Amino acid sequence: MRVMKILGALAALCLLVAGGATVWAWSQAQAFLAATPSSAHDERILTIPRGAGPQTVAGLLAEAQVVTDAEKFALYLRIEKAAAGLRAGEYRFWTDQTPADVLDVLLHAPEVTYPLTLPPGLRIEDMAALVEAAGMGSAAEYARLARDAAFIESLSLPFAAVPESLEGLLVPETYNLGPGADERAVVAAQIALLREIWTPERSARATEIGLSPYQVMIMASLVEKETALPEERPRIAAVFHNRLRLGMRLETDPTIIYGLKNYDGNIRSADIRRPHRWNTYVIPGLPPTPIAGAGIEAIDGVLHPTDTKDLFFVAKGGGAHHFSEGYAEHARMVRKYILKQ
């Protein structure tokens, strides 16, 4: 019944405009409702301005070749009483959509989003560069926000104390952000995911293994920097847990690198004993802050480490490591995999 009403109204419009016969007008109305501007599935992303009515919206759609006739589509919107449901924003249309399909996008489809991929293991500055490259603000402002004490305090992070920076707390992930997203929107999305990660269950598990949630993030950042293999993360974490329990220094190379200025890809003998806040060859326990963004697999690896007595590991190629319980075996593996190379 509703379709008949629409066809009748569109036919009346055709009669007024063309002055033709009723049968012809009726066929024109039917043709419009079935028509698509193209048989090709071409994308059109359009911005619907705030306060735009049926006539404006129909004109934009016709200009972009999303509908075949602006006047008929404007009338269609009025017949459907869709004016009140039109939303400002950026939406994705296709040139092979019928008027009904287009109306469904206008009333119900989510706004267009743009992906931003921030891989695990990045520092603040590395993430900042990707944010700027994606056109979502400046690298300098992203990095400034990540170290702004007042801004960090305003975030209500899921930790007992306010951290000195957001290093390692800006969760790496692919985020789909709306048009106009800036540095604050990116940080907000990352912190929202951080809050989602720290469920009561994960917080309880952290307490169970003797770490605070923030300490878990610190250790997870070390795990993230030591291995890219998902299956190794709980075992790398186990080594760190075991060493902490025995009062051994963690002695993980990424912590040396984090505190070096102008790192050129080589760790020299002097660097190993060079004192700075993060160098776990020098300091006992965990470093004071995370050193990179850790993904959920690294976090869960810390919370659920492998049941092992391993105290050492050495890279053996292909991203994998050899794990050892004692130093003698570890020394042999260092000679085999590192010194001979």
Does one domain contain both 95 and 162? no
Report the amino acid identity of residue 35: A
What distance in Å separates the CA atoms of residue 107 and residue 54, rounded to the nearest whole number?
A: 12
Does one domain contain both 219 and 243? yes
What distance in Å separates the CA atoms of residue 178 and residue 176, rounded to the nearest whole number?
A: 7
Summarize pLDDT for 24-80 with one digit per residue, the tens. 566 777 778 888 999 999 999 999 999 999 999 999 999 999 999 999 999 999 989
The number of domains in the chain is: 3
**Residue 317 within a domain:** no
Does one domain contain both 46 and 14? yes
3-class SS of residue 163: coil
Neighbour tally for 130: CB within 10 Å: 17
Does one domain contain both 74 and 151? no
Domain extent for 67: 2-108
What distance in Å separates the CA atoms of residue 247 and residue 270, rounded to the nearest whole number?
A: 24
What distance in Å separates the CA atoms of residue 294 and residue 285, rounded to the nearest whole number?
A: 19
Burial 259-291 (b: 16+ CB within 10 A, else e): beeeeeeebeeebeeeeeebbbbbbeebbebbb
Summarize pLDDT for 177-223 with one digit per residue, the tens. 999 899 999 999 999 999 999 999 999 999 999 999 999 999 999 99
Does one domain contain both 234 and 302? yes
What distance in Å separates the CA atoms of residue 55 and residue 86, rounded to the nearest whole number?
A: 12
Long-range interactions of 263-267: CB distance < 8 A, separation 24+: none
State the pTM of this model: 0.82
